[in-house]
Structure 1
Amino acid sequence: MRITMIGSGYVGLVSGACFADFGHQVTCVDKDDSKIAALDAGRMPIYEPGLDQLVANNVAAGRLTFTTDLAAGVAGADAVFIAVGTPSRRGDGHADLSYVYAATEEIARAATGPLVVVTKSTVPVGTGDRVEEILRERRPDIDFAVVSNPEFLREGAAIGDFKRPDRIVVGTDDPRAREVMGEIYRPLYLGESPILFTGRRTSELTKYAANAFLATKITFINEMANLCEAVGADVKDVARGIGLDNRIGRKFLHAGPGYGGSCFPKDTLALLKTAEDYDAPVHVVEAVVKVNDARKRAMGRKVLAQLGEEPRGKTAAILGLTFKPNTDDMRDAPSIAIVQSLVDAGVTVKAYDPEGMEAARSVMPASMTYCSGPYEAAEGADVVVIVTEWDAFRALDLQRLKSTMAAPVLVDLRNIYDREDVERIGFHYTGVGR
């Protein structure tokens, strides 16, 4: 199949490279000249384990190409995927669909024959209807079929998620579109990955509902962590105790500083706005958003509490800046609120992250110092704070860390260390919900 991917960001690039690896002919389109030039040179615009090699292999095989020429990319394609950004709209929290609709306009102008247009971007219910209206208004001479096919990729594990998905959701009532989508995903179907064919609006809502539910699990266990601290229980054991119930499951039950990233914050907000528009309030999701926002600020106060009554002039070492490990994504990362709280209190902040420091420069206070490793960050620090659970932080030489610090205080916001082990070395240890 000939596939065109409009947008060569996280979703578009990973999806395009994986489709090419299945044997399809894929063209990735992007308006950013520098991004396309970098991709042509083998440089990835994002950090995702294994992506550089996957792209290189399929470019070498002639199955994957990059261009800024949308018309050339669309001409002769069997399916065109829209994989552009849908950030929260400034001012009201609705998903900004301007990039989706702009891509739709260009597809309409470039189409040369019958075409299946697929929204891969995360879009509110009813977006596919408007995409179809635009296509038919602009080009009544072309037979378009519009499909919703949301992505369910975890940053840091996206290639595995794409190739071994829990499910593939395809929203269409059009027989031709269903046939095309079935052929595109045939390699996964043969591997027994379930394909759920459903209505387009149902598919659009499924993506938001999935992310909202996962955000709810994270927020729930964080609330339980607060209660554990108050009553003297251990949230790790609570999480294990409830997670072993297969009706609940163990995933997303890890207490921490709150969720962030490119999906959960904006998608929960967009779902709230959709619910308001249709007068069908979702109070649980509303509470999740409120609690998560408060959670990040509370983690800043948690760190400040370990610096004594007068934190001004003291130094904090922050280990991990990205919202999760194995990505360079800083969008809505809990570290942003934590660092800002420390800076506002007059604390000097030094930080290290294996992949996220370049991205952090645009969102972090200018006064923060970036270090080349965890031990450099800890030198002279009054507290070390683990914010992101990178593997590189799971087996730190705690004796070495202690020897460089002004005070042996460890705040472990991911609970990756055992209190007894850390305190045996002479640290004062603070975890989450323990």
Structure 2
Amino acid sequence: MLKRKHEDFSSSRTSLSFIGLPFLSYSSPRTYLTELHRFKVAQFFAGFGSYRKVKQIRLGRNTACHCSFSTLETNFVDSNRVRLSIVVPFYNEVDSIEKLVEAVIAACEESPYAKQWELICVDDGSTDGTTEKLKRVCNKNSFIKGISLRKNFGQTAALSAGFNIASGDLIATLDGDLQNDPKDIFGLIETMDMSGYDVVSGWRRCREDTFVRSKLSQAANWIIRWITGVPVHDLGCATKVYKREIIRDIRLYGEMHRFIVVLAMYEGAKIGEKEVSHYPRKFGKSKYGLDRTIRVICDLTFLYYLKKYRTRPSHLFSFFAILFSTLQLALMVFAFLSKFLGKEILRTSLPVWLLFLMTLQLTWIMFEVGILAEVITRTYYESQSKPIYRVRRYFPDQTKIGFQ
């Protein structure tokens, strides 16, 4: 009888390798059952992504080996887990939100990601009834998450809020104005899988915008490519797909949403692009204006600093310090020559040259203060783990936080 029990225990012990737990030596069936129970608990937490590693399980003198999160995830994650998260920010898009949700549902259910996707809608402080429609849409569909921000924080903050609750291995973005086709997301994913990219950006080669706006956009994208070196023709296209680990390592501030691809490249990501569709705007009006062009220029200045000097800022400041010191030395030499030789070397009715040097120094000082303020702001938020937005409520009320 005892021999048969021992044989049963031995056979059950070998089955443990089938479920992914390494073969271990146990002194008794009770030890084995306790070990299996604890492993099941560890499996539960790992499936929800709560722990990166299951710690050693000590049972008397028996010690189980480490089990990595990736192994547990491979063996135990449900086949219906979220693989794709689609983040869409909305601001006063009450007429388009329902139609966009329908288009996303139709595109996803026909894709290889059917039943393994989620849609995250972020209401960026809308005042036209978008919040109420978002609430109804989320209550009707369990695979849709909604976030309502307290005020209009901007598109960067809205995307950041969506990224922070995304659960998918891939994270895609769309605009909420129905000018993007959700089906294009899966073309970008195919390009990502075939070429091994970490980020794939859409390219609206045939844009449904005015001639002036299209040409200005082309010029702006050319300047951005020249300054940053990013191999993308259309950074303003909202249709993009990122790997989860890339987004997790990026912190967004200001209005850097249009430069997420650039920031990803600075983090070592492999960047690709693919042509996508673009449709005329049906509802509402565009939120873009001339003021955004000025903001893009300001952001480009900081991006150039990040590209060249973020790990060696003293090189930048020392260069300008040497430059202005040289100019001051030259002015001093001119002053001495004028005094002792009795000649006017720079004779003019107005001190234009002096004004030029003063404005040059003032420009540099303002640039320097801007960089310092940007760095201080980032340090303030990151040191306290504070988001750049404030959430009024989630739809539904219980929402899983992805990165937090």
Q: Identify the TM-score tier after normalising by the shorter chain.
A: under 0.3
Higher helix share: 2
Specify the structure having the higher radius of gyration (Cα).
2
The TM-score normalised by the length of structure 1 is 0.24
TM-score, structure 2 length as denominator? 0.25
